[in-house]
Structure 1
Amino acid sequence: MLAGLLTTLAMLAWPVARSPAVRLNAIASSAASETQARGSPDPGSMSASAAGRGMAVAAPVGVALFLFLGGLMGACAGTVAAIGLFAAVRRREPAEVRRRRERMGADLPFAVDLIVASLRAGQPMSGAVETTAAAIAGPVGERLSWAGARMRLGAPPEEAWTALSDEPALAPLARTMIRAAQSGAPVADVLTRLADDARRTAQARASAAARRVGVHAVAPLGLCFLPAFVFLGIVPMVAGLAGQILLP
């Protein structure tokens, strides 16, 4: 009796063998959760945050217009202004998403160069991707580490790279790797051209950002120099003309 009970308990406590696919999905889910916990932006939380910012800006403006104008005109003006401000603030890209996108675009050329160097040194694709992920910190390293771990555990390369195509900065790399995996063509030369294109794109974006800084600085600088121009240029001239006209 006791032996049968112990045998039953041992059978219940014995770990159930899982297939490689089930283990891979479990590891991928835990890796995705860990990446999310390290600070990857959540679309739901970003949408809620944008809505909260829009409401925080739009509500005081709408109430202020209603109190200032009063009546039906104030209610209409406040409602229209609040709706417009809410939509404008909600459509604006959050700063966290913008910084993440800019960093991924800046890190992509270096990551591709490291993948090419690792492949030419004789590493397999999963090893090259994981080596690059260890050297490149930030969001690019996190996503490459995830893809490399999946390939090392036996996932098809197309599946691993397809999961990276949701990032706009990594979509060209993902498409290139998917085509190479499906065709079996050597990928080092294609990745070299991709790195050159990504580097030129990053330089063009940096130049455009520098030009926008100059344009945006015109109005503040004008407001700073306008009082000095008025007091040093216009006021003495007006005072001199007034003295000549008023004095006999």
Structure 2
Amino acid sequence: MTALLIGGSVGIIAGILTIPAAVTYLRRKEPPQTRQERARIVSDLPFAADLMTACLLAGRPVSAATEIAANAIGGPLGQRLSWVSSQLRLGADPEPTWATLAKDPATGQLSRAMSRAAQSGAPVADVLTRLADDAREAARAASVASARRVGVKAVAPLGLCFLPAFVLLGIIPVIAGLASTIVIP
């Protein structure tokens, strides 16, 4: 396409050079389903952490708390937590089990928190409470930023509507009035 737009040997060279850039861009583009799953995980994470905290404070082990949260949440986060729960019930080492969730950016925060708690022996309920609070704060900040972006995006169409009206009703009559006094003696 680039070769046809530019034409000649320069167009052919430009076309050859744009192919790798286009391929790289298309490979990096995330499918909509993945984006939706990630958004659902981010929205479900605070509730799952609170639910796991409640179970832990009630005396349940981490594997049972994870299983209860997985069954209650469902969806993509529930599937991931269900896998972790089954691995923990089978006696897997907690650190590598939780570390498998770090591959996905949406569950990375949970993975790091639980791995650190397993390494240090810190109370898991406190870690999960902090995680839920941080996730809620991040969601709140993201929604505020999104609302601000909407306000900025709304200004351009309004400017395109009001600028011609301002020019036609405010500037042209003034220029016409000045021109009539200058041209007509």
TM-score in terms of structure 1 length: 0.61
Q: Which stretch shifts more, 98-107 or 164-173?
A: 98-107
Residues 72, 237 of structure 1: alpha-carbon distance in 2 compared, 3 angstrom cutoff: farther
1:75 alignment partner in structure 2:
12
Structure 1 segment 229-240 matched on structure 2, within 5 A: 229-240=166-177
Report the secondary structure of 1:122's partner residue: coil
Q: Which residue of 2 aligns with 1:225?
A: 162
Aligned to 1:211: 148
Unaligned runs of 5+ in 1: 1-59
- Is 1:174 paired with 2:114? no
Given the alignment, which residue of 45, 49, 59 partners 1:108?
Answer: 45
Alpha-carbon separation, structure 1, partners of 2:22 and 2:167: 35
Percent of aligned pairs sharing the same letter: 57
Structure 1 residue 112 displacement after superposition: 0.6
Letter of the 1:233 counterpart: G
Q: SS of the residue aligned with 2:103? A: coil
2:5 pairs with 1:65: yes
Asked whether the 8 Å contact 2:56–2:62 carries over to 1, the reply is yes
- Shift of the alpha carbon at 1:183? 4.4
Could you tell me which of 114, 134, 137 is aligned with 1:197?
134
Structure whose residues are more often helix by fraction: 2
1:88 and 1:244, CA in 2 relative to 1: closer, same or farther beyond 3 A? farther
| C-alpha displacement of 1:227 | 2.9
Distance 1:209 1:154, change over 3 A: same
How many residues are paired up? Answer: 185
State the shift of 1:116 in Å: 0.1
Q: 2:97 aligns with which of 148, 160, 170?
A: 160
**SS at the partner of 1:155?**
coil
SS in 2 for 1:169: helix
Whether the 8 Å CA contact 2:84–2:98 is kept in 1: the answer is yes
Query: Which letter maps to 2:5?
Result: L
C-alpha distance in 2 between matches for 1:142 and 1:239: 71
Q: Distance in 2 between matches of 1:233 and 1:90?
A: 51
Residue 135 of structure 1: how far off its partner (Å): 1.9
CA distance in 1, matches of 2:73, 2:48: 7
User: For residue 38 of structure 1, what is the aligned residue in structure 2?
Assistant: none
Q: Which amino acid aligns with 1:148?
A: S
Partner residue of 1:140 out of 77, 87, 93: 77
Q: Distance in 2 between matches of 1:80 and 1:118?
A: 57
Higher relative contact order (CA 8 A, sep 6+): 2
Matched, 1:149 2:86: yes
Alignment gaps of 5+ in structure 2: none
On the 8 A contact 2:117/2:127 being kept in 1, the answer is no
Displacement of 1:188 in angstroms is: 0.8
User: Is the Cα contact below 8 Å between 2:98 and 2:111 reproduced in 1?
Assistant: yes
